[in-house]
């Protein structure tokens, strides 16, 4: 009987120990960093694979496309843009480019558009299919002509969290030139709604949804993002999510 | 009883690589399950469809009101307050949570960290699996664990023996037919299923291998299969642990730690 009690209590202790030990290790900065090295391995292995996201048919489009992001900007700047139907909106392209750009929404709308019916995979686990159309990012970058030291495109957005930290994202140049990476202006045949990122939303269908930044106002081409905010290359990346969001 | 007699009755049953692979695999699988539940908590439902489709929801765990946990399986709801839907939030309090804090890594809700643990230990488990598979295939010991067509007719007699409906087990080699069936299923069906459905969830993998995600019915469906794979593995682990506990716990533990197993009277060399 003692033996059984010993066995039962040792198994119970092993099971009950899992979560506390895991949590203690998780709170240890060194171990936490060590676990994160796996993300760098994924980026090296998969970050620039040539694949294309699967394209769907009209019948596959989700009836309800969830909104799951920071709240729609309530700043006077954004509200004023919204009131004037984004006629005063400009997308700026700056940084390590030979030809900085200022593009109005009308100019973006007049550029050749690409349409894609692709699946949006949220890091939380849900997916939704939508018909996106907009300007391929590579066209805009080709117009701006990145310099030789350009390595990343940084996307600066108009939304921020309740601490005032603005949303931003980044792609390396190969991801930015991926043919399905677009600056989306429309979702399901209509101009993108404010809560979906109006007027311009980045769309990166080969990675998780947090890469597809809403309310983009500026693209800055840089050699490194380590000096920006938390230094990890994106709002969610600064909070521990992987920079390469293809997993 | 003399010293040499005792020594003679000990056999070296598990090679070092087998023991390392077993314990690395066991720890990795425990971490994968609890970090996987952490990841599940971020979207606590499973749909039998490519994209999220509430009409094809197979499982959901939610909290319809403060202090109430609810689990819905195939449209039938159960109150699961305290464990599923409402329970320990991992910081000492209680709150709306699909799986409770004492089952997840980390205990508190943190999707980013759950993913870190999950992806790191996915490599550990996969490497332990591949290393053990390769080494035992090279040594030739893998062959005696694989279920063969000739074993199928021995499955019931073996089960009947365990149920005490039969005096003697059917004649078999190192592993009995039920052990072979269990190991073959786990090593060659379940483990690949879990790895492949996990990969199918990744938009980057989907972009280079569409057929993989399509094979499982799409991304949300792959998430469902991945979860089912976990449940089957938990089932295997429970039976496995039950057997270790009832078949000479300390002897079994020693053999998987040091390699040495003490034979009981009339016992053959194999496990």
pLDDT digits (tens), chain B, 271 positions: 445 455 458 889 899 999 999 999 999 999 999 999 999 999 999 999 999 999 999 999 999 999 999 999 999 999 999 999 999 999 989 999 999 999 999 999 999 999 999 999 999 999 999 999 999 999 988 999 999 999 999 999 999 998 988 898 888 888 899 999 999 999 999 999 999 999 999 999 999 999 999 999 999 999 999 999 999 999 999 999 998 998 888 889 999 999 999 887 656 555 5
Domains of chain A: 1-46 (no CATH), 55-239 (3.90.420.10)
* Cβ pair A26:B203 closer than 8 A: no
Task: Report the domain count for chain B.
Answer: 2
pTM tops 0.80, yes or no: yes
- Residue B141 maps to a domain: yes
3-state helix, strand, coil in chain B (%, to 5): 60, 15, 30
* Cβ pair A52:B207 closer than 8 A: yes
- Residue B270 maps to a domain: no
Beta strands at A216-222 and A90-95: parallel, antiparallel or unpaired:
parallel
| Same domain assignment for residues B180 and B70 | no
| Same domain assignment for residues B49 and B177 | no
CA-CA distance, B6 to A90, in Å (whole number)? 85
Determine the 3-state secondary structure of B46 from DSSP: strand
Beta carbons of A106 and A232 less than 8 angstroms apart: no
Question: Of B91, B108, B125, at which residue does a domain stop?
Answer: B108
B35 contacts in A (CB within 8 Å)? 22
Q: In what order do the strands lie in the sheet with A166-172?
A: A101-104, A90-95, A216-222, A152-160, A166-172
| Same domain assignment for residues B23 and B103 | no
For residue A42, give the chain B residue with the closest CA: B119
- Residue B267 maps to a domain: no
| Same domain assignment for residues B78 and B182 | no
Beta carbons of B206 and B221 less than 8 angstroms apart: no
| Same domain assignment for residues B15 and B148 | yes
Beta carbons of A234 and A171 less than 8 angstroms apart: no
Q: What is the dihedral of CA B258, B260, B264, B269, to 10 degrees?
A: 130
Q: How many other CB atoms sit within 10 Å of the CB of residue A28?
A: 12
Question: Of B62, B92, B108, at which residue does a domain stop?
Answer: B108
| Same domain assignment for residues B167 and B99 | no
| Same domain assignment for residues B78 and B145 | no
A3 contacts in B (CB within 8 Å)? 249
* Domain around B94: 44-108
| Same domain assignment for residues B129 and B215 | yes
In this complex, which of A3, A36, A126 lies closest to B52 when CB atoms are compared? A126
CA-CA distance, B246 to B227, in Å (whole number)? 29
- Residue B67 maps to a domain: yes
Beta carbons of A43 and A172 less than 8 angstroms apart: no
Beta carbons of B85 and B63 less than 8 angstroms apart: yes
CA-CA distance, B116 to A32, in Å (whole number)? 8
- Residue B271 maps to a domain: no
CATH code for position B153: 1.20.950.20
| Same domain assignment for residues B142 and B21 | yes
């Amino acid at each position: 009987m003692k033996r059984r009690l010993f066995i039962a209590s040792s198994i119970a202790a092993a099971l009950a120990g899992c979560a506390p030990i895991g949590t203690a290790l998780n709170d240890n900065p060194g171990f936490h960093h060590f676990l994160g090295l796996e993300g760098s391995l994924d980026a090296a292995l998969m970050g620039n694979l040539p694949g294309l996201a699967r394209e769907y048919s009209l019948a596959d489009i989700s009836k309800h496309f969830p909104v799951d992001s920071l709240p729609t900007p309530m700043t006077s700047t954004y509200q004023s843009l919204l009131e004037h139907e984004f006629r005063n909106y400009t997308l700026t392209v700056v940084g390590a480019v030979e030809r900085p750009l200022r593009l109005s929404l009308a100019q973006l709308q007049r550029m050749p558009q690409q349409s894609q019916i692709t699946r949006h995979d949220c890091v939380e686990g849900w997916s939704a299919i939508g018909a996106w159309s907009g300007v391929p990012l590579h066209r805009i970058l080709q117009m701006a002509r990145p310099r030789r030291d350009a390595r990343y495109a940084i996307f600066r957005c108009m939304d921020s969290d309740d601490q005032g930290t603005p949303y931003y994202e980044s792609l390396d140049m190969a991801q930015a030139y991926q043919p399905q990476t677009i600056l989306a202006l429309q979702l399901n045949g209509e101009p993108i709604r404010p809560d979906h990122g109006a007027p311009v939303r980045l769309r990166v269908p080969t990675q998780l949804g947090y890469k597809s930044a809403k309310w983009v106002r500026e693209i800055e081409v840089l050699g490194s993002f380590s000096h920006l905010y938390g230094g990890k290359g994106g709002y969610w990346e600064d909070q521990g999510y992987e920079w390469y969001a293809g997993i | 009883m003399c010293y040499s007699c005792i020594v003679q009755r000990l056999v070296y049953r598990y090679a070092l690589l087998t023991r390392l692979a077993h314990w690395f695999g066991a720890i990795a699988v425990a971490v994968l399950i609890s970090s996987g539940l952490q990841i599940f908590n971020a979207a606590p439902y499973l749909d039998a469809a490519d994209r999220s489709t509430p009409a094809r929801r197979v499982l959901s765990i939610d909290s319809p009101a403060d202090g109430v946990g609810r689990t819905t399986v195939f449209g039938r709801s159960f109150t699961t307050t305290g464990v599923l839907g409402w329970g320990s939030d991992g910081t000492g309090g209680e709150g709306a949570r699909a799986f409770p804090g004492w089952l997840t890594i980390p205990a508190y809700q943190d999707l980013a960290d759950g993913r870190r643990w999950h992806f790191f230990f996915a490599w550990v488990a996969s490497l332990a699996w591949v290393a053990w598979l390769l080494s035992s295939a090279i040594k030739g010991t893998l062959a005696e664990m694989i279920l063969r067509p000739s074993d199928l007719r021995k499955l019931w007699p073996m089960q009947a023996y365990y149920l005490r409906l039969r005096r003697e087990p059917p004649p078999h080699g190192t592993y009995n037919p039920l052990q072979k069936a269990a190991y073959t299923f786990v090593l060659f069906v379940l483990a690949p299923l879990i790895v492949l459905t996990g990969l199918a969830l990744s938009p980057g993998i989907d972009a280079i291998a569409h057929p993989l995600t399509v094979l499982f019915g799409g991304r949300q469906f792959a998430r469902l299969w991945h979860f089912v794979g976990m449940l089957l593995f938990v089932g295997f682990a429970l039976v496995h642990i039950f057997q270790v506990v009832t078949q000479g716990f300390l002897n079994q533990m020693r053999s998987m730690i040091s390699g040495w197993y003490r034979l009981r009277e009339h016992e053959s060399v194999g496990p």
